[in-house]
Amino acid sequence: LQRRAARSERLAAVGQLAAGLAHELRNPLASMSGSVELLAAQLEDPAAQRLFGIVLRESDRLNRLVTDFLGFAGTAPTNLGAVELASVAGEVLTLVGADPAAAGFARTAELEPASALADEGQVRQVVWNLVRNAVEASSSDGEIRVTTGTRKGQAFVRVEDRGAGIHPELLERIFDPFFTTKDRGTGLGLATVHRIVDGLGGHLEVDSVVGEGTRFTVVLPAFPQQVG
């Protein structure tokens, strides 16, 4: 047991170091992409413009990686309390509605009151990652349904899409850090979701049919805690 404790302390230390590094990368990255954007606007040579386009695209990719990694590294619940899943889910849906990539989407919300014992920032991160994936798996006229409620003394939030679905062979890999099937993915979204939900003492269910769609259900301890 002692050895295990030492190991997880060591892992936590490495995680902190990596998160510190990721944090430090953000500012220089932002200045670089800002400068390149300004420079690119002054170029007339198409070949040079193309090269600047590559620099911009790649710094965008680094930025996404750093942001997602920071989300992944900081997954210890710091602020446990009553979290109203319906209001968090409603907020995330509103945010997603403002995203041009999801402009043509039908968004359905069936939000029953459901209070979880959780960390609100973390729950927002979980729902945001699931909804982003649902948008990315769907065509431009996709349909996304978010449901919240209680079940057997637990609180749940469910995100469903009618997108591409997930091949059964891939199902066990989708939670691995850096596993992605997307050109511009980081593969850190579901790894983050998994770690957060584990840390909160909840669990995740996935149902997916290729060509029909995917449903992720996050089950969390209810607030107030059920006794017995």
Q: Is 64 within 8 Å of 186 (Cβ atoms)?
A: yes
- The option from Mg ion, ligand ADP, none interacting with 181 (CB < 5 to 8 A, set by class) reads ligand ADP
CA angle at 30 for the pair 28 and 31, rounded to the nearest 5°: 65
Closest CB to ligand ADP among 74 and 163?
Answer: 163
Cα of 149 vs its chain's centroid, Å: 21
- Residue selected from 142, 189, 202, 213 as contacting Mg ion according to rule CB under 5 A: 189
Phi-psi region of 152 (alpha: psi -120 to 50; beta: other; left: phi over 0): left
Question: Least distance in Å: CB of 138 to ligand ADP?
Answer: 8
Map the footprint of Mg ion across residues 122-181, applying CB under 5 A: 133
Q: Per CB under 6 A, does 57 bind ligand ADP?
A: no
- Residue selected from 115, 122, 133, 148 as contacting ligand ADP according to rule CB under 6 A: 133
Amino acid at 91: E
- Residue selected from 15, 121, 185, 221 as contacting ligand ADP according to rule CB under 6 A: 185
**Position closest to ligand ADP via CB:** 189
Stretch that binds Mg ion, among 77-85, 146-154, 182-190, 195-203 (CB under 5 A): 182-190
CA distance 101 to 193: 22
Question: Least distance in Å: CB of 219 to ligand ADP?
Answer: 18
CA distance 202 to 116: 10
CA distance 128 to 67: 14
Stretch that binds ligand ADP, among 20-28, 106-114, 129-137, 217-225 (CB under 6 A): 129-137
Q: Is 81 within 8 Å of 120 (Cβ atoms)?
A: yes
Which residue shows structure tokens 């995330």? Answer: 92
Residue ranges in contact with ligand ADP by CB under 6 A: 129, 133-134, 137, 161, 163-166, 174, 179-182, 185-191, 214
